[in-house]
């Protein structure tokens, strides 16, 4: 018998149920399905079954990613964790180092995004504080100008002289 023909020895109803489990959205691991249907008692080797599962999922375009992206995950983290768990449960560790590197890179990127957001928020707060200080200073200057004008008027200082003094000291007219 060929590598996958051993599955043909199973009753059609059982094989169909196994195939449904293989392609289900829950993405059961090959080991879990193998144990659930007690395939060792039916003369099917675990490695042969694992290859059959991979072939079925690959043929369905699943291979862990396409079907998983259709699931209802609230975050990309949940999707990624589901894929990592699936790979671990199926015993497929070939890409785990790469996935771990990707997770580190994603975490680093998120830290940078958070730092950038914090910098932007700090800049917004600083700009708001600076605007408040500028308004406060402008109000104080206007009050000082009014006081200077009142003092000049009460002392009888001509307006031309007041303007010259203001220009000399850089006071806006």
Q: How far apart are alpha carbons 120 and 112 in whole angstroms? A: 12
Mean pLDDT across the chain: 80
Q: How far apart are alpha carbons 27 and 57 in whole angstroms? A: 10
Q: How far apart are alpha carbons 7 and 54 in whole angstroms? A: 14
Question: Domain coordinates of the chain in residue numbers?
Answer: 5-75, 108-168
Q: What tokens were used for 170?
A: 């850089």
Q: Is the dihedral of CA 98, 32, 76, 23 positive or negative?
A: positive
> In a 3-state reduction of DSSP, which class is residue 169?
coil
pTM over 0.85: no
pLDDT in tens, 7-40: 888 888 898 888 888 877 557 788 888 898 999 9
Residues in the chain with pLDDT values less than 70: 1-4, 25-26, 61-77, 172-173
Biggest CA-to-CA distance, the chain: 118
Report pLDDT for 139.
92
């Amino acid at each position: 018998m060929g590598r996958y023909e051993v599955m043909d020895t199973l009753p059609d109803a059982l094989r169909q149920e196994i195939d449904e489990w293989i392609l289900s959205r829950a993405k059961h691991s090959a080991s879990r399905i193998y144990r659930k249907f007690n395939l060792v008692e039916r003369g099917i080797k675990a490695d042969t079954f694992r290859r059959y599962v991979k072939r079925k999922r690959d043929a369905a375009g699943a291979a862990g990613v396409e079907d998983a992206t259709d699931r209802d995950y609230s975050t990309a983290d949940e999707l990624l964790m589901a894929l990592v768990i699936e790979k671990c449960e199926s015993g497929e560790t070939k890409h785990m180092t790469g996935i771990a590197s990707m997770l580190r890179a994603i975490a680093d990127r998120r830290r940078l995004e958070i730092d950038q957001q914090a910098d932007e928020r700090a800049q917004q707060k600083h700009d708001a504080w600076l605007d408040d200080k500028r308004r406060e200073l402008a109000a104080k200057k206007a009050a000082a100008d009014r006081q200077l004008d009142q003092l000049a008027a009460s002392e009888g200082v001509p307006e031309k002289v007041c303007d010259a003094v203001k220009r000399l000291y850089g006071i806006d007219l």
